Amino acid sequence: MASDPAWWTRSTVYQIYPRSFADSNGDGIGDLQGIVSRLDYLEALGVDVLWLSPIYASPQDDNGYDISDYQGIDPVFGTLDDFGELLASVHQRGMKLVMDLVVNHTSDEHPWFVESRSSRDNPKRDWYWWRPARPGTEAGSPGAEPTNWGSFFSGPTWTYDEPTDEYYMHLFSRKQPDLNWENPDVRAAVYEMMRWWLDRGVDGFRMDVANMLSKDVSLPDGLVRPGFEFGDGWPSFISGPRIHEFLAEMHAEVFAGLDRPFLTVGEMPGVTVDDAALFTDPARREVDMVFQFEHVGLDRGTSKWDAVRLDLTRLKRSFNRWQLGLADIGWNSLYWDNHDQPRAVSRFGDDGEHRVRSAKLLATVLYLQRGTPYVYQGDELGMTNTPFASIDEYRDIETLRHYRSALAAGADPRVVMAAIAVASRDNARTPMQWDTTPHAGFSTGEPWIGVNPNFVDVNAAAELADPSSVFQHYRRLIELRRTHAVVALGDYRPLLADDPVVFAFHRRLAPDELLVMANFSGEPANASIDDVEVWRDAELLISNDDGFTMIDDRFALRPWEAFVLRRTIP
């Protein structure tokens, strides 16, 4: 990294899912005043930046990722004044606040789409993707869609609008029509909206599906894989032909004149290491970092509903590829969880006997890598998945539409429910567990989604009071990134790539070298590394156990043990 390292190389971001964080008015839904009431807690954790999932006016078809007014706060979350108060309090505490930017699509109730849909010659018709039925088909009938692409939320990516006798595109739900970024008026309107929020003092944006803004305008059909009803449209909208041009233009139009620190992170399903190096190369002025999805796809087979056992060597190879791939140019984000992923401790750890140890291990191996860590609300408590008994307890549009389409295709409901229990996004969206009072202290009213019954044991109050808790481990990891430059900027060197249970690597930045080692299993494990002797008297920076054990020339690791050693490079 040529010039002075950017401020966010030493920062940690905390993601808040406002619906599920803290409810201040007892309606069972989290809100802005709820977040204000918990800022002491976030300051105690030591995070530097808060990222808010969408709080804008929205019909909430996809929990706010369907926006009907980009410059309005949804009344369920509060008012612009509440937002102003939150932002001021965050800044007073020396933290920053990043908004969610959802501009690949709007809500179908956004005035732009209402106009666009009203007639074929409406000036905003071309603000979205409208196309006639496939030639030789009857409009409105299955197969008449302009392309054969499948939506992320089951079904086709096109919906027929009878009054204007054309289809509109929506990669997600039919209430999330895609904006046509080919139209410069669309881009100008988005940039103006972003500047409006920056003028109000926000410190940056997390950009939703930021690598889907540019589509292949010839709209070719996609390959239909065996067993799938629809074609794969990804080659036509993942990192499309003009994506770098659009993100560079956005940077120039929105951020170039900004004379204060800001952060941008692009959520990019399907992004490759090479693409990411282009997107995050500071010289190209596109985004500061990206969210890539490789590691969160390694326990899935043909779809996210097809769970497979994680092979640790594949996980390590993926991390190694991203760490080494962006070593010289670009920058990584580091995350296990967000509002779209099931809880990591249930998925990659052990949410039973070894919940605390494995939760600490997962944070240790991730946050000691090179990149900016993202803590998703509840990670710092070791919150786990919540398998609901009935489909009626689920709320997520992706989950509910999958359930319906799987059953329509003849699947066994018990099999589908089992898959949903493992992979549903609702696992991440259960209320934050603050204490042992009713509804885990999240709300005095009936929460919009069920609370994980393990809140009696797993909650912030208990974690804050326990010096050996997951919370305290997270707090120390976050602090390490500030106190030790090697953690933020050190070179990454993988070790033991083929070991099936031990994850180990070095970080190196004179005068420090670190050894990070973790046993990803419930059984004891041994690990031998070349220069083992130099670590025998090393400083223990952090561990989820009481220190480390060396027997002869190897490390003896207890189940789910993880530690970080530091030595001074001669």
State the catalytic residues. Answer: 208, 267
Judged by beta carbon, residue 29 or residue 397, the one nearer Ca ion is 29
Nearest CB to Ca ion, comparing residues 23 and 337: 23
Contact criterion met (CB below 8 Å) for 243 and 211:
yes
Encoded one letter per residue, x for contact with ligand TEU by CB under 6 A and - for no contact, window 164-193 reads --------x---------------------
Site string for ligand TEU, 144-163 (x = CB under 6 A): --------x-----------
Tell me: does residue 113 bind ligand TEU (CB under 6 A).
no
Identify what 355 binds: ligand TEU, Ca ion, none; CB under 5 to 8 Å per kind. none
Exactly one of 102, 247, 383, 502 binds ligand TEU (CB under 6 A); that residue is 102
Q: Compute the Cα dihedral for 483, 488, 490, 496 and give only its sign.
A: positive
Is 432 a binding residue for ligand TEU by CB under 6 A? The answer is: no
- DSSP secondary structure string, 20-71? HH--SSSSSS--HHHHHTTHHHHHHHT-SEEEEPP-EE---TTTTSS-SEEE
Which residue's Cβ lies closest to ligand TEU? 65
Read off the tokens for 219: 């709209």
Peptide bond into 511 cis (omega under 30): yes
460 binds, among Ca ion, ligand TEU, none (CB under 5 to 8 A by kind): none
Three-point CA angle 361, 396, 447, nearest 5°: 85
82 touching Ca ion, by CB under 5 A: no
Interatomic CA distance for residues 6 and 333, integer angstroms: 14
Can you count the helices (H) and strands (E) in the chain?
Answer: 17, 21
Token pair, residue 560, equals: 């789910």
DSSP string, 504-567: EEEEEETTEEEEEEEE-SSS-EEE--TTGGGGTT-EEEEESSSS--EETTEEEE-TT-EEEEEE
CA distance 47 to 37: 16
- Residue 17 or 434: the one with the smaller Cβ distance to ligand TEU is 17
Rg (CA), the chain: 24
Of how many residues is the chain composed?
A: 570
- Please state whether beta strands 204-207 and 49-52 pair in parallel, antiparallel, or not at all (unpaired): unpaired
Q: Is 398 in the site for ligand TEU (CB under 6 A)?
A: yes
Contact partner at residue 269 from Ca ion, ligand TEU, none, CB < 5 to 8 Å by partner kind: ligand TEU
User: How many of the chain's residues bind ligand TEU (CB under 6 A)?
Assistant: 14
Cβ 215 to ligand TEU, closest distance in Å?
Answer: 15
Per-residue contact flags (x/-) with ligand TEU for residues 331 to 370, judged by CB under 6 A: --------xx------------------------------
The CB-of-171 to ligand TEU minimum distance in angstroms stands at 8
Residue 96 three-state SS: strand
For ligand TEU, the closer of residues 62 and 337 by Cβ is 62
CB of 31 to Ca ion, least distance (A): 4
Identify the CA nearest to 178 among candidates 205, 149, 215: 215
Please identify, using beta-carbon distances, which residue of 21 and 520 lies nearer to Ca ion: 21
Q: Measured from the CB atom, is 176 or 519 closer to ligand TEU?
A: 176
Between 319 and 335, CB nearer to ligand TEU: 335
Contact indicator for 245, 213 with CB cutoff of 8 Å: no
Q: How far is the CB of 77 from Ca ion (least distance, A)?
A: 8
Q: Draw the binding track, 426-465, toward Ca ion (x: CB under 5 A; -: no contact).
A: ----------------------------------------
Q: Which of 209, 254, 478, 562 binds ligand TEU (CB under 6 A)?
A: 209
What, of ligand TEU, Ca ion, none, does residue 272 touch, CB below 5 to 8 Å by kind?
none
Q: Is 304 in the site for ligand TEU (CB under 6 A)?
A: yes
Please give the single-letter amino acid code of residue 492: Y
Given the complex with ligand TEU, which of 209 and 383 has the nearer CB atom?
209
Nearest partner of 348 among 359, 334, 332, judged by Cα: 359
Out of ligand TEU, Ca ion, none, what residue 209 binds, judged by CB under 5 to 8 A for its kind, is ligand TEU
Contacts 24+ apart (CB under 8 A), 314-322: 315/348, 315/503, 316/494, 316/497, 316/503, 317/497, 318/294, 319/295, 319/369, 319/494, 320/492, 320/494, 320/497, 320/505, 321/273, 321/294, 322/273, 322/276, 322/292, 322/294
Q: Residue number with the shortest CB distance to Ca ion?
A: 31
25 binds, among ligand TEU, Ca ion, none (CB under 5 to 8 A by kind): Ca ion
Identify the H or E element spanning 503: strand 502-509
User: Any contact of residue 380 with ligand TEU (CB under 6 A)?
Assistant: no
Alpha helices in 132-251 (DSSP H): 184-199, 234-237, 243-250
Phi/psi of residue 78, each to 5°? 135, -150
Q: How far is the CB of 212 from Ca ion (least distance, A)?
A: 32
Any residues with CB less than 8 A from the CB of 530 and at least 6 apart, and which? Answer: none
Cα of first residue to Cα of last residue in the chain, in angstroms, is 24
Smallest distance, Å, CB 546 to Ca ion?
A: 43
Closer to ligand TEU by CB, 65 or 535: give it.
Answer: 65
The residues in 19-78 that bind ligand TEU, with binding defined as CB under 6 A, are 62, 65
Site residues for Ca ion, 5-64, by CB under 5 A, read 23, 25, 27, 29, 31
Site residues (vs Ca ion, CB under 5 A): 23, 25, 27, 29, 31
Site residues (vs ligand TEU, CB under 6 A): 62, 65, 102, 152, 172, 208-209, 267, 269, 304, 339-340, 398, 425
